[in-house]
Chains A and B, each alone.
Chain A
């Protein structure tokens, strides 16, 4: 089975802190994605990566950056966390062409106080 692991299920941070959300997949997938999910807004794509060291902006990249130094790991970075970044963050990965099925992690619920 494909496994996508997000390092934390719950995280509480202070405004202005630098926050790292980590995601690891164990199936040698080329593509990895970061989404946030908010009530009434659904899932929105923040960033995605289709290869090591490659990244593409999604629909809402402002206030976020990403890092993909190794194929299996995709990190989402909040340079200076703000309260409007309180959300559920979901990581996903897929094999080969990005059009294939995406497999999701369990999510990280981030609260910024």
Chain B
């Protein structure tokens, strides 16, 4: 059974700092991996999706990398801003990608960026 772990559970940084959030998964037979953002009391917003054949994806100040063989992904946030404060979740999708595709989520990292 796939297990997804995110470390640290919480992170507090000063504004302007570059930071890395970590995600690890136990079964490397994945189809893709997604990073989401969740603001307090709200739903999830998809940030980046990396296919298993890709090494990284970039969107603005965000860069997500994937090392399938070691079961790891990182989300790099450059020049952090207070508006980046949120919980960040990663989720992996199993090989196959068909009707049995179900995401397995990590518990998230709560990021606080202090002005």
Instruction: Point out residues on A near B: beta carbons under 8 Å.
Output: 4, 40-43, 45, 48, 50, 56, 58-59, 90, 92, 97-107, 109
Quick check: B101 and A97 within 8 Å, CB to CB?
yes
Stretch at the interface among B14-22, B42-50, B58-66, B75-83: B42-50
Whether B34 pairs with A101 at a CB distance below 8 angstroms is: yes
Q: List 10 interface pairs A-B (beta carbons < 8 Å), by A numbering.
A: A41-B107, A42-B107, A42-B108, A43-B89, A43-B91, A90-B43, A97-B97, A98-B99, A104-B43, A109-B41
- The answer to whether B99 and A50 touch across the interface, beta carbons within 8 angstroms, is yes
Whether A99 pairs with B108 at a CB distance below 8 angstroms is no
Are A58 and B41 within 8 A (Cβ)?
A: no
Residues in chain B near residue A50, CB distance under 8 A: 99
- Are the C-beta atoms of A107 and B97 separated by less than 8 Å? no
Does B55 sit within 8 A of A, measured CB to CB? no
Which 5 pairs of residues, A with B, have the shortest CB-CB distance? A99-B97, A104-B43, A98-B101, A104-B44, A42-B107
Residues in B neighbouring A102, C-beta threshold 8 A: 34, 44, 46, 103
Residues of A contacting B44 in the complex (Cβ-Cβ under 8 angstroms):
90, 92, 102, 104
Task: Give how many B residues have a beta carbon under 8 Å from the other chain's beta carbons.
Answer: 25
Contact A99 B101 (CB under 8 A): yes
Q: Known: A43-B89, A50-B99. Contact between A99 and B41, CB under 8 A?
A: no
Tell me which of A4, A40, A43, A100 has the highest count of chain B C-beta atoms within 10 A of its own C-beta: A43
With A and B bound together, what is the CA distance between A41 and B89 in angstroms?
13
